């Protein structure tokens, strides 16, 4: 569903990605893990059109989207839930969600399935806290609630692929568990996802396949279970040398 081929990206003269290649098959969760500064968020920004790549190709459903502006990537069916949440603080929870639903329509795209009312109800079922706070201003929500709102808003686009960048950042452990439960539920429903996550063990626990990014290059990749049991991956990213 999503293919990245020899992707390169830079900020000014600073080259961050040095030709990375990865694939996200339809209906699977693929995770990209690595230390801070490895290029994970840069990868997400390049894929979603927030940063123009300096080389390589990106294909969504077999169609090239490399270098397209963000609104055209959204129109093509890719939703990006960015690092840092970035909800609209002066809008209500409900209006944030509706903005997500109508973004794809106002950019000239189509909603491939469902309807706005049905999708809104589904999002509120996934995130019951948001149902209770529909009329509350998004800026008054807790950090965990804002993260849930950002994820729900991305889902309201009815995307073919969902990019999740650090969904657990800054959350209490109980909320991290809740977020990953929701990611697991979306996976069971067939959602295609590319996940960047600081908690590598949790990411590999929910993913089908994983890539380890080091200094802008893919260092190792393989089925998630295989990476979880790789001693080098364990020592570098999983906080130990045990497979359990």
Q: Is the dihedral of CA 87, 90, 93, 94 positive or negative?
A: negative
Q: What is the C-alpha to C-alpha distance for residues 208 and 205, in angstroms, rounded to an integer?
A: 8
Nearest 5°: CA angle at 66, between 192 and 215? 80
- Which tokens belong to 58? 């990106």
> What is the model's pLDDT at position 14?
95
Domain ranges for the chain, please list them.
1-77+161-176+195-244, 87-159
Could you report the per-residue pLDDT of 43-99, keeping only the tens digit for each?
999 999 999 999 999 999 999 999 899 989 998 999 999 887 789 999 999 999 998
SS3 content of the chain, % helix, strand, coil (to 5): 40, 25, 35
| 1-77+161-176+195-244 is classed CATH 3.40.50.300 | yes
- Which helix (H) or strand (E) covers residue 33, if one does? strand 29-33
Q: Given phi > 0 = left and psi -120 to 50 = alpha, else beta, which region is 35? A: beta
> What is the model's pLDDT at position 44?
96
> What is the model's pLDDT at position 241?
40
> What is the model's pLDDT at position 117?
86
The side-by-side arrangement of strands in the sheet containing 29-33 is 78-81, 161-165, 192-196, 29-33, 209-214, 217-223
- Which tokens belong to 118? 């049905």
Q: In the chain, which stretches have pLDDT less than 70? A: 103-114, 239-244
The answer, as to whether pTM is greater than 0.75, is: yes
> What is the model's pLDDT at position 110?
55
Backbone angles phi, psi at 19, to 5 degrees: 90, 60
Please check whether residue 222 is in contact with residue 210, taking contact to mean a CB–CB distance below 8 angstroms.
yes
> What is the model's pLDDT at position 43?
97
């Amino acid at each position: 569903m999503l293919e990245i081929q020899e992707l390169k990206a830079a900020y000014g003269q600073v080259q961050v990605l040095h030709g990375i290649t990865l694939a996200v098959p339809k209906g699977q969760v693929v995770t990209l893990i690595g230390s801070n500064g490895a290029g994970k968020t840069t990868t997400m920004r390049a894929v979603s059109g927030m940063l123009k790549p300096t080389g390589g190709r990106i294909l969504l459903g077999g169609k090239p989207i490399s270098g397209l502006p963000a609104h055209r990537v959204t129109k093509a069916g890719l939703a990006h839930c960015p690092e840092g949440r970035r909800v609209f603080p002066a809008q209500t929870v409900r209006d944030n969600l509706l903005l997500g639903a109508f973004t794809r329509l106002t950019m000239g795209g189509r909603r491939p399935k469902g309807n706005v009312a049905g999708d809104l109800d589904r999002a509120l079922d996934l995130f019951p806290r948001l149902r209770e706070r529909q009329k509350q201003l998004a800026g008054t929500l807790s950090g965990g609630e804002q993260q849930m709102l950002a994820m729900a808003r991305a889902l309201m686009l009815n995307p073919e692929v969902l990019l999740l960048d650090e969904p657990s950042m800054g959350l209490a452990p109980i909320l991290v568990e809740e977020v990953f439960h929701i990611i697991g539920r979306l996976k069971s429903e067939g959602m295609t996802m590319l996940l960047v996550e600081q908690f590598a063990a949790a990411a590999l626990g929910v993913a089908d396949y994983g890539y380890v990014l080091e200094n802008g290059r893919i260092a190792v990749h393989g089925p998630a279970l295989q990476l979880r049991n790789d001693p080098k991956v364990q020592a570098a990213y999983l906080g130990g040398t045990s497979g359990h």
